Amino acid sequence: MRTPWKSVLGLALLAPLVGEFLLGNVAIREIGALILLAPFYGGGALLVREVARRTGKGWPTLLVLGLAYGLVEAGVFDGSLFSTAYEGVDYDAVRIPVLGVSGFYGLQFVLNHAVWSIGIPILLTETLTSRNRTTTPWLGRFGLAVTTAVYLAAGLLIRYDSVQSGEYHVTWAQGIGVAVVALVLIWIALLLPSPEPKRQPARDREPALQHEPALHHEPALHHEPALHHEPALHHEPALHHEPALQLEREPRRQREPRPSPRGSDRWVPRPWLVGVVGFGLSSAYLVLPATWPGVALTVTIVALAAWLIVWLGRRAGWQSRHEIALAGGALMTYAWAGFLLTTLKHRADPVAFTGNGVFTVAAAALVALAFRCRSAVTGATQEAESSRKA
């Protein structure tokens, strides 16, 4: 198996660029941190993708694996899950004493990594990858082993740095508990069903009997020998049964396949509307207060978003352009949040704010490029399909 190195390198870089730099958690003047963050974030994203694609699973599995990744990162490697304050930001709200975590920030840590550090980078990288490698494994056995080793080594270096800075407060019991929960999430992810192929919309299907099998019955109408028998001429009423035959055939000829019970032929919103809704929901998610009602609203928004995606994603009209638009809306949420976080962490640093602008423009350009690539592929596919039908 030939490894698509451009895609591998692209995902390894895109994961930390979205997860840390676009969010403003790491300023552009610290771009050198990619040397450590790319193996860690990128290695984790590659491993998540390889597991999902090698087992033939879809996005539900990939995102649940992303939850496991986020839990291990925050709960084992950098220790932010169990810190009351980390890198100058207070995370002590909605504390659960028996677990030593913040119910609000702990939930956001895990969800943010699953969606923005893992899911969106994988989606965009796969979109820009050659069509025949979109859902196939990218790494061979050797590449998989190297990626695992690099990921673990980078994670241990991050843990060491967190310990040295005095911000690592994870006990052995907490670390073991995180590992157990992560294993349970991985087990659940692998139990999730594989994606089912979508049915073609009824408007794109050919009529059920376009080959007109009724034409093959014409020999029955040409029984000329019967005309030479004079008595047969008295059975003219039999010739008038032809309209009855037409009445039988006509409904069958107009009959179309029944719509899918999944509602595959129903309305699907345009991609731009999906992007707007994605931006709205993700923005609402990020501005929630760090309170128990905020926790409840977080769960509600995540559940609503998941239900909408599953509900629409099972329809034949839902295409990759809708997924790109959804990712674009979420990226723009991280973009504006990056300016806000830069204000909190880097105060009035003009270089940091310039970096926010650079990453925002780059994110928008990447989404536009993904749209262009997918539109080109869709157009070529439709043209080939039209030629085949012709």
CA 59 to CA 108: how far, in whole Å? 20
- List b or e across 356-385, with b for residues whose CB sees 16 or more CB atoms inside 10 angstroms: beebbeebeebbeebbebbeeeeeeeeeee
Give me the pLDDT at residue 20, please.
96
Whole-number Cα distances in Å, 221 to 165, 225, 250? 94, 11, 18
Give me the pLDDT at residue 106, please.
95
CA 347 to CA 50: how far, in whole Å? 40
Give me the pLDDT at residue 322, please.
95
CA 327 to CA 275: how far, in whole Å? 7
Residue 374 backbone zone (phi > 0: left; psi -120 to 50: alpha; other: beta): alpha
Side chain identity, residue 213: P
Residue carrying structure tokens 């609000």? 104
Q: How many Cβ atoms sit within 10 Å of the Cβ of residue 201?
A: 16
* Each residue's pLDDT tens digit, 219-264: 444 444 444 444 444 444 444 444 444 444 445 544 444 444 444 4
Q: What are phi and psi of 102, to 5 degrees?
A: -90, 125
Q: Which residues of the chain have pLDDT under 70?
A: 1, 197-265, 376-390
Whole-number Cα distances in Å, 341 to 90, 112, 347, 378? 13, 14, 9, 38
Q: Are 120 and 330 in contact (CB under 8 A)?
A: yes
pTM for this model (two decimals): 0.81
Give me the pLDDT at residue 346, please.
82
Give me the pLDDT at residue 135, please.
85
Side chain identity, residue 111: L
Q: Using N-to-C axis directions, what is the helix angle for 120-127 and 320-346, rounded to 10°? A: 130
CA 116 to CA 93: how far, in whole Å? 23
Tokens in use for 355? 């970096």
Give me the pLDDT at residue 359, please.
97
* Each residue's pLDDT tens digit, 272-309: 999 999 999 999 999 999 999 999 999 999 999 999 99
In what helix (H) or strand (E) does residue 102 lie, and over which residues does it extend?
strand 101-102
